[in-house]
Structure 1
C-alpha cells in the first residue's frame, strides 16, 4: 500500500493506493462509521486481478480534512472530491465501488460522470432516483412519536457528544448492533439517545480483529464523529441541489449487493424493488446470513461476485 494527500476541491483528501500503475483504476468508497480499512479484504483480491486500487479516507474522516461547515458535506461536494481526484490522476475510465454512504456517492457519480464512470458497484444502499420530497421530511413524519437515528443526528453537537465520549465503545456498538438492525430498528421513545438501552458488546465481531479495530478507532481520533455526522445533515440540501439529475437514469453496468439481515433491506425494500426502473443494466444479489457490513462479513462471496462482474464488464 502507498498513500498520498491530494489537494482537491478545497480540501486535503488522503488516498491509499495499491496495484500496478498500468492497471485499470477502481475506487473504493467507504461509508459510516467506517474507514478505508473496511476494504481490507477486497484490496488484495483486486490487486491480484491486475487492477489499480484507490481508497480514499472520505471527507470528514481520518487523515482527510474535516471542514467545520455542515454545508461542506452535501453529496455533490463529496462527489466533487472524487471527480477532482480522478482528474488530478489523469483517469478517464474508472469503476466506482461504494458501500453505505459511499454507495450513495457512487450512485451520484454514475449520474454525473456517465463517460468516465464506466462501471458501478454498490453495496447495502439502493437508489431509485430523486424523491418527490426530501427524505428527511418523510422521516420526520413517519417517526414523529418514536426514535430514529437519522433524525437524532440532525441537531449539531448532540450525537457528537454521545459518540465522541467513548469512540471505542461507539464503534463496537455500531459494528454489532447496526449490522442486523438491533440498534436501528429497535422501537424506543422519540427523545431517546442513540445508545439508550443498548449494552456494550463483550467482543468484536468475527470479521474484525483487534488490529483491524485499532485502525477504525484511529480514524475518529482526530476529528471525532462531527464530519461523518454532517453527511446526514444534508438530506434537504442534497434534494435541492440534485434537481438537475431528476431524470438521469444510470446506464452503466451495475452490480448491487445487500445482506438479507441488513436493516437497509427492510427499510429500503420499496427502493430496491424500484431500482430496475432507474438502473438500466442491473445485476443484484442478496447474500444469506449477512448484515450491513457486507464486504467484511461475507468477504469471500463479495469478492467472487465482484471479480466475476468486473471480468464481464471492466476486465483488467
Structure 2
C-alpha cells in the first residue's frame, strides 16, 4: 500500500468479516462509503480518500465479500444482492450510522443501486461510476445477455461454464491484471472466444497502463492470495438478483450523481432519468477505470456534487 492509504481493520458484519480501510474518524457523523468493482480492491479509491477526508467526511472503504482479506464464502448464493447490500447495512450499524452517501464503481455501483432499492432509508445519496442503473426488464439478465450477446460474452460464460475463467485468471494473475488495467486502448475487431480469457493469455498489453507498477502490485498480490472466484460469484447471481428485485419499487429517489467515461465500453442508460429522477450526469474523457484514470477530475466532480447535496440538506433541515 502507499503510505497515505489507511491501514485496514477487520470488522464482523452480516455473518462475514470485511477488511475495511477507514479515514477521517475525526469527521464522525458525516459518513461516505466507497465501493469497488471487479476485479478491484478498496485501493482503487486511493486518490479520493484524502480529498474526502479534507472535505469533512468520515471515509469508509470496504473490501467487499470475496475480495482482499474479507471473507470468501463458498456458497455462490452468498454473493447475491441481498447479502452484498446487507453487508453495507451492517457496516453502517457497526459505526452507528442511520444512513450514508454511497459511492460505487463498476460492480460496486450495481451493489449501491441495489442497496438504494432494498434499503432506501440507509442511503442519503448515490454516486455511481461507469455502471448506470440497470432496468430490470422482462427477461432475467443473463438469459437476455445470452440471447443478445452470445455464449462467449463473459457475463454468460461465467454463469454457464463455472470455474473455467476463474482458473485461467488465477494461472495468469499478473498478465491478466496488467492487460486489463489499460487506458487509450485502440479499437480492435472482436476475436473468437471469451474476450477476458483471451486478454489473460495475451503476451503484450495494449494502450497505456492505468497504474504504476507498485500500484498494480497491490492488486496482483491481493488476487494471487484470493483467486478470482469470490468476485466472479457476484456475476453468478445476476438472474437470482433479477428475481429478488421483482417486487421492489424500481425508482431511485435519492439525489444521484452518475459519472460516465466517454470511452468506456459499458453502455449508458438512455432512460436513466425515468428510474433515477434526481440524477446529475457528468462525463469525463476516459475509459472504464474512471477514478484511477482521471483521479483529480473524478474527485472534483464528487466533491462539487457533495457540496450541493450538503447545502440542499441544510436548507431542508
Give TM-score scaled by structure 1 length.
Answer: 0.90
Rounded to whole Å, the distance in 2 between the matches of 1:4 and 1:220 is 19
Q: 2:113 aligns with which of 107, 116, 141?
A: 107
1:97-140 CA-to-partner distances (Å, cap 9, x unmatched) read 00000000111111223222111100000114322211111111
Compared with structure 1, are the counterparts of its residues 304 and 192 closer, same or farther at alpha carbon in structure 2 (3 Å cutoff)? closer
Q: 1:304 aligns with which of 295, 300, 305?
A: 300
Aligned residue for 1:254? 256
Task: Determine whether 1:234 maps to 2:222.
Answer: no
State whether residues 29 and 103 of structure 1, in contact with CA within 8 Å, keep that contact through their aligned partners in structure 2. Answer: yes
Offset at 1:196? 6.3
State whether residues 147 and 188 of structure 1, in contact with CA within 8 Å, keep that contact through their aligned partners in structure 2. Answer: no
Aligned residue for 1:295? 291
Rounded to whole Å, the distance in 1 between the matches of 2:70 and 2:290 is 24
Rounded to whole Å, the distance in 2 between the matches of 1:180 and 1:105 is 27
Q: Secondary structure in 1 aligned to 2:291?
A: helix
Aligned residue for 2:3? none
State whether residues 31 and 57 of structure 2, in contact with CA within 8 Å, keep that contact through their aligned partners in structure 1. Answer: yes
1:36-69 CA-to-partner distances (Å, cap 9, x unmatched) read 1100110011011111100001110010011111
Rounded to whole Å, the distance in 2 between the matches of 1:82 and 1:186 is 40
Unaligned runs of 5+ in 2: 1-5
Give TM-score scaled by structure 2 length.
Answer: 0.89
Unaligned runs of 5+ in 1: none
State whether residues 27 and 53 of structure 2, in contact with CA within 8 Å, keep that contact through their aligned partners in structure 1. Answer: no
Larger CA deviation: 199-208 vs 252-261: 199-208
Coordinate RMSD, CA, aligned: 2.3
How many equivalent residue pairs?
A: 305
Larger CA deviation: 91-100 vs 200-209: 200-209
Counterparts of residues 1-316 of structure 1 (less than 5 Å):
1-23=6-28, 24-144=30-150, 147-154=152-159, 155-176=161-182, 186-190=189-193, 194-195=197-198, 199-201=202-204, 205-245=208-248, 247-264=249-266, 268-269=267-268, 272-288=269-285, 290-314=286-310
Rounded to whole Å, the distance in 2 between the matches of 1:86 and 1:243 is 26
Q: Which has the higher contact order (CA 8 A, sep 6+)?
A: 1
Rounded to whole Å, the distance in 2 between the matches of 1:95 and 1:37 is 19
Compared with structure 1, are the counterparts of its residues 32 and 251 closer, same or farther at alpha carbon in structure 2 (3 Å cutoff)? same
Compared with structure 1, are the counterparts of its residues 21 and 197 closer, same or farther at alpha carbon in structure 2 (3 Å cutoff)? closer
